[in-house]
Amino acid sequence: NYNTNCVISNNGIIFSIQNSASVEARAYIKKSYFQEYVLEINQNDNIQETIKETQEEGKNVNINNDFEFSNNVIDNPNKESTIVFSLNINTLLDCLTIFGGFQLTNSSATKNSQKNDKNSNDINIIDTSKSRTTLRMDYKSSTGRLDLLLEDNGVITVCKLNAFEFNETSDIVLMFKQYPLINELILNSKWLNDAFNTIDNSCDDITIRISPDAPFFEISATNVSGITKIEYSKNPEVIETFNCKATTLFSYKYTLITSIFKALTLSTKTQIKINSEGVLQFLVKLLIVL
């Protein structure tokens, strides 16, 4: 069982969780992703902050610009209007999916996605348009409890979760920013997911090589059966963005890389960044239909 840190601000919600101080996962949920987003911080019975955001039904939350992977605003919220606490991740997920989970659809069968993303083929979309579940979160620091009120087609469920103090963790993000960024690329998540599925899970390490010379992007692994190598060309249809300052060659434990597998399956694009010390960052982009 793991506890996840939760940061709620007027910009959105961040969930973060670490494993053995070697890998950290963060989920950024911007307020524009909600059909309605309201944050009320009460101090001495006065409302300090109120934010309301409405999203049109059937609208794809899909930002196609150079800043689509930037989370500077949500990652650096105003501390005066921020709520922080920690929760058991398994308990939280059980409560949020009490009326069922989301439906995963393919863009080739979704007319709306074809209109909004004409260049994308066979991308996965998280379709919440058929779900009418609403959620209200109420956290009281005095009691250390988070109340979740979920309503679906007139059926109401209230879940009361014990919250814990915000976990102080080793700042892997700071370690990433501390050293110069060497390489960065963006590619379709399906290409990356297919590569990892090709690698036998009996291997110990996965080696990632990014170079200004061919092969520009290479993933390799060694197991009892031999060596597996997957090479990518710098074709814009394969790698959308390729910024390489120098050749980097680093190996990572296979068990740590597997943490990204589910996110790749649910995402459309992935941004990969590596700094001079080999700290590796994956940023995945989800396409959500509200």
Over residues 135-171, the pLDDT tens digits come to 888 887 778 888 999 998 889 999 999 988 877 666 7
Q: What's the pLDDT at 183?
A: 96
Q: What's the pLDDT at 141?
A: 77
The residues with which 164 forms a beta bridge, in sequence order, are 86
pLDDT tens digits, 227-248: 999 999 888 888 999 999 999 9
pLDDT tens digits, 50-103: 333 434 444 444 433 333 555 554 555 555 578 888 999 899 989 988 887 655
- Dihedral sign for Cα 164, 166, 170, 173, please: positive
pLDDT tens digits, 267-279: 889 999 999 999 9
| DSSP-derived secondary structure for 146-171 | EEEEEEETTEEEEEEEE-BPPPP---
- Using 50, 70 and 90 to split pLDDT, how confident is the model at 290? low
Looking at 126-130, 173-177, 222-226, which range is the least confident one?
Answer: 126-130
Look at the block and give the residue holding tokens 């059980």: 94
Q: Give the separation between CA 184 and CA 271, rounded to whole angstroms.
A: 7
Does one domain contain both 60 and 154? yes
Phi, psi of 262, rounded to the nearest 5 degrees: -65, -40
Whether the pLDDT of residue 118 is over 70: the answer is: no
Q: Which helix (H) or strand (E) holds 122?
A: none
The residue length of the chain stands at 290
Does one domain contain both 153 and 72? yes
Q: What's the pLDDT at 279?
A: 93
Residue 154 contacts residue 75 (beta carbons within 8 Å): no
Does one domain contain both 14 and 157? yes
Does one domain contain both 127 and 225? no
Q: Give the separation between CA 284 and CA 282, rounded to whole angstroms.
A: 6
Does one domain contain both 13 and 129? yes
Within a domain: 236: yes
Does one domain contain both 8 and 111? yes
Within a domain: 138: yes
**Range of the structural domain that residue 93 is part of:** 3-162
- Of 162, 184, 210, the domain-final residue: 162
Does one domain contain both 138 and 182? no
Within a domain: 91: yes
Does one domain contain both 118 and 203? no
- Of 129, 162, 195, the domain-final residue: 162
Domain count, the chain: 2
pTM: 0.73
Q: Give the separation between CA 126 and CA 132, rounded to whole angstroms.
A: 14
Cα 112 to the center of its chain, rounded Å: 23
Does one domain contain both 209 and 180? yes
- Of 100, 131, 162, the domain-final residue: 162
Does one domain contain both 8 and 152? yes
